[in-house]
A and B are shown apart, each in its own frame.
Chain A
Amino acid sequence: MSAEPLLSVRGLHADLMSPYGAVRAVRGVDLELFPGEIVGLVGESGCGKTITAKSIIRLNNEETTFYRGEILLGGTDLLTLPEKEMTRVRGGRVAMIFQDPMTALDPLKRVGRQIEETFMLHGAAEAEARAGTLALLAEVGIHPAEERARSYPFEMSGGQLQRALIACALAGSPQLLIADEPTTALDVTVQAQILRLLRDLQRRTAMTVLLITHDFGIVAETCERVAVMYAGRIAEIGPVRSVFHNARHPYTRDLIRSIPTPDGRPEAIPGAPPDLRASLTGCAYAPRCRHAEGRCRTEQPPMREAGGGHRFACFFELAASAAPAAFTASGMPEKGKEAQR
């Protein structure tokens, strides 16, 4: 990891205007992505992770979205870039793949043609584009490339399409690839293959990957660093190992505990995330947090260092080690039973 970040998001706010009121979906996100790393961005649905990602590539509806803060890519602020120049950044320096591969391509055009199109958008000539497409298809594991390039999207399976879309994203040799829940729509077996493919490609091309997911398991397998988002802010960020085994934010701990395991029952987090139309005072997680006390509801906790690039936004110094076990020992489940009686 080099010292200069490839992308730094600073104090990003994104307000979305909707008929039901302004939704303050992103509320001050700070995030740095360094060249050649895979960073996971996790959180529940509606926590602002997708809006954050779409802000980076500026794909939110710009007539109804208001940004504050800055998103610096190699020194240029993407938020103030004119649309015309942004078009060159998209697919060129920053590419993105989406959740549902079945609907991400024009159903009426051959898959290969659409990848060629991407090459040509980023300055390749027709013949180069064709050769590049076949090479990329082979690289993402689609064989025989020549034949499959002539397929229409409906003739391919979800896993193959996601591979094709990854090829498409690579066509402009991006420095940053944003993958928004790239495996959510796929079978579990295919999921693992796609994640492995992403990791292999990332190593080979040295690009940076921002992997958005709600699945902590995927992060643990794939990423080097992880950022946990809650209610439009980063709750905790750090190396995967450190965050996973040594979570400092109660939300992260609850999230980890909600992962189903073969021998333990997953614990659901009680309550629901806050309504992002409201203005929130204090820590957004306080209403659902088992440790919350008075100041959590009035004061916003600052970002604190836990060492080794591990940071978290909480007032408490929770017992550093073996967090999940400690929680079980504290007898929370029993408390729940008592309440039932």
Chain B
Amino acid sequence: MRSYALNKVLQYIFVLIATSVIIFVLVRLSPTDPVAVILGGKQSSAETVANIRQEFHLDRSPVEQYGIWASGMLRGDFGTSYQYRQPVSDMIAQRMPVTLGIVILAMVIGVAVSIPLGIFSAVKRHKWQEGILSIVFLILVACPPFLTSILMIWFLSVHAPGFSFVGSATTFGEFLQRISLPALALSFSLIAFFSRVMKAGMTEELQSDYFMAARARGMGRNAIIWKHCFRNAIIPVVTITGLEVGILLVGSVLVETVFSLQGIGSILISAVQGSDYPVVQGITMLIVFIFLTISTILDIVYGLIDPRVRAL
């Protein structure tokens, strides 16, 4: 297990470095001159331009620029925004809680609801309960988060005018209230997807040879489901959780906009439009970092669950 985990961590570090290079190069392929962005299109003397080039290290070679950016990130310094002239790390720190909060809450709701539902509908195979749940999953998976968000806003404004979901938050309770709706909207498709994966996994386990063999040993159905099938059936859910984090991070950008919340999404969009390289690089790198970190943790969890995986 230790060598397996070590292997995963080394892979993680390698991929992180590789993606940072790719992100850096891709952003630099843009034809826009950063100086023009920084100056905001104003006429300026050659001297000013030279100063700016120096200030933002644009006079250095691309390799040196990468070195400055990468080593800065290790210290938590993501550079300075061209547009806003403020540290990118500050901008991220301000907005990250909203985005992360939405993603985490959506994930928690998704997992908490879909695992029991998935198991339930696998157990009730070919019964009316399964039929109803299948339809519910189908409706949920077909609900785009932006539409669900708009419908929720409409519904709440009409039926619960007291529930405030916009504006800034000062207490944790308020914060939760702000992020609850976008997280719920995002969690719908998650519930549908996870439930179906859980159901498929559990259905397979219920038909497995070892299920029958365990019954032949005198174990009750429910005991087998919890003691044996659950661990086996949860493996695919763990796998897709990693992928789904990436999708949620992107999806969060969308619902933040609908709920006019100050998350990562809005600055990322304006940064891309304005060729604000440090911001684009920083946020993209952060998203990659979160995604990879979670994937690596899940890979290790995967190894903890399945002895065959760690023996590889």
* A interface, CB within 8 angstroms of B: 57, 59, 87-92, 95-98, 100, 103-109, 117-118, 121-122, 152, 154-155, 165, 168-169, 171-172
Binds A, one of B72-80, B283-291, B302-310: B302-310
Cα of A209 to Cα of B149 in the assembled complex, Å: 64
Chain A residues with CB below 8 A from B231, complex form: 106, 108
Chain B interface size, as a band, is: 20 to 34
Contact A107 B217 (CB under 8 A): no
With A109-B228, A152-B307, A154-B308 as given contacts, are A104 and B218 in contact (CB-CB < 8 Å)?
no
In the complex, per-residue mask of B292-312: 1 if CB is within 8 Å of any chain A CB, else 0: 000000000000011110010
Known contacts A57-B216, A88-B218; can you find 20 more A-B pairs with CB under 8 A? A87-B219, A89-B218, A91-B219, A98-B216, A104-B210, A106-B210, A106-B214, A106-B228, A107-B232, A108-B232, A108-B305, A108-B307, A117-B219, A118-B218, A154-B307, A154-B308, A154-B311, A169-B216, A172-B217, A172-B218
With A59-B215, A108-B231 as given contacts, are A103 and B307 in contact (CB-CB < 8 Å)?
no
Any chain A CB within 8 A of the CB of B52? Answer: no
Contact B216 A91 (CB under 8 A): yes
Chain B residues with CB below 8 A from A169, complex form: 216-217
Main SS of chain B's interface residues? helix
Partner of A95, one of B216, B219, B228: B216
Any chain A CB within 8 A of the CB of B208? Answer: yes
With A152-B307, A152-B308, A154-B307 as given contacts, are A105 and B218 in contact (CB-CB < 8 Å)?
no
Partner of A165, one of B213, B218, B228: B213
Cα of A91 to Cα of B219 in the assembled complex, Å: 8
Chain A residue with Cβ nearest B229: A106
Chain A residues with CB below 8 A from B219, complex form: 87, 91, 117, 121
Chain B 222-266 interface residues, beta-carbon cutoff 8 Å to A: 227-228, 231-232
Cα of A276 to Cα of B311 in the assembled complex, Å: 46
Contact A106 B209 (CB under 8 A): no
Chain A residues with CB below 8 A from B215, complex form: 59, 90
Any chain A CB within 8 A of the CB of B220? Answer: yes
Chain B residues with CB below 8 A from A89, complex form: 218
Chain A residue with Cβ nearest B305: A108
Any chain A CB within 8 A of the CB of B212? Answer: yes
Contact B307 A104 (CB under 8 A): no
With A59-B212, A108-B307 as given contacts, are A91 and B232 in contact (CB-CB < 8 Å)?
no
Chain A residue with Cβ nearest B215: A59
Chain B residues with CB below 8 A from A90, complex form: 215-218
Q: How far is the CB of B310 from chain A (nearest CB, A)?
A: 10
Q: Closest 8 A-B residue pairs measured CB to CB? A: A91-B218, A91-B217, A103-B209, A104-B213, A96-B216, A106-B228, A90-B218, A152-B307
With A90-B218, A91-B218, A109-B228 as given contacts, are A104 and B306 in contact (CB-CB < 8 Å)?
no
Contact A168 B217 (CB under 8 A): yes
Between-chain CB contacts (< 8 Å), 10 pairs: A90-B218, A91-B216, A98-B209, A104-B213, A107-B307, A108-B231, A122-B218, A152-B307, A154-B311, A172-B217
Q: How far is the CB of A120 from chain B (nearest CB, A)?
A: 10
Chain A residues with CB below 8 A from B311, complex form: 154-155
Cα of A87 to Cα of B216 in the assembled complex, Å: 8
Chain B residues with CB below 8 A from A107, complex form: 210, 232, 306-308
Cα of A122 to Cα of B218 in the assembled complex, Å: 8
Partner of A98, one of B213, B220, B228, B306: B213
Contact B209 A92 (CB under 8 A): no
Cα of A107 to Cα of B231 in the assembled complex, Å: 10
In the complex, per-residue mask of B190-216: 1 if CB is within 8 Å of any chain A CB, else 0: 000000000000000000111011111
Partner of A87, one of B218, B232, B305: B218
Contact B212 A98 (CB under 8 A): yes
Cα of A106 to Cα of B214 in the assembled complex, Å: 9
Chain A residue with Cβ nearest B212: A59
Chain A residue with Cβ nearest B218: A91
Chain A residues with CB below 8 A from B306, complex form: 107-108
Partner of B209, one of A91, A95, A104, A154: A104
Contact A121 B217 (CB under 8 A): yes
Cα of A88 to Cα of B214 in the assembled complex, Å: 13
Chain B residues with CB below 8 A from A117, complex form: 217, 219, 227
Contact A87 B220 (CB under 8 A): yes
Chain B residues with CB below 8 A from A88, complex form: 218
Cα of A96 to Cα of B212 in the assembled complex, Å: 10
Chain B residues with CB below 8 A from A155, complex form: 311
Chain B residues with CB below 8 A from A97, complex form: 216
Q: How far is the CB of A215 from chain B (nearest CB, A)?
A: 21
Cα of A210 to Cα of B306 in the assembled complex, Å: 35
Cα of A288 to Cα of B307 in the assembled complex, Å: 51
Contact B217 A103 (CB under 8 A): no
Chain B residues with CB below 8 A from A118, complex form: 217-218
Chain B residues with CB below 8 A from A106, complex form: 210, 214, 228, 231-232
Cα of A19 to Cα of B308 in the assembled complex, Å: 37
Contact A59 B216 (CB under 8 A): yes
With A108-B231, A108-B305, A154-B307 as given contacts, are A103 and B216 in contact (CB-CB < 8 Å)?
no
Contact B218 A103 (CB under 8 A): no
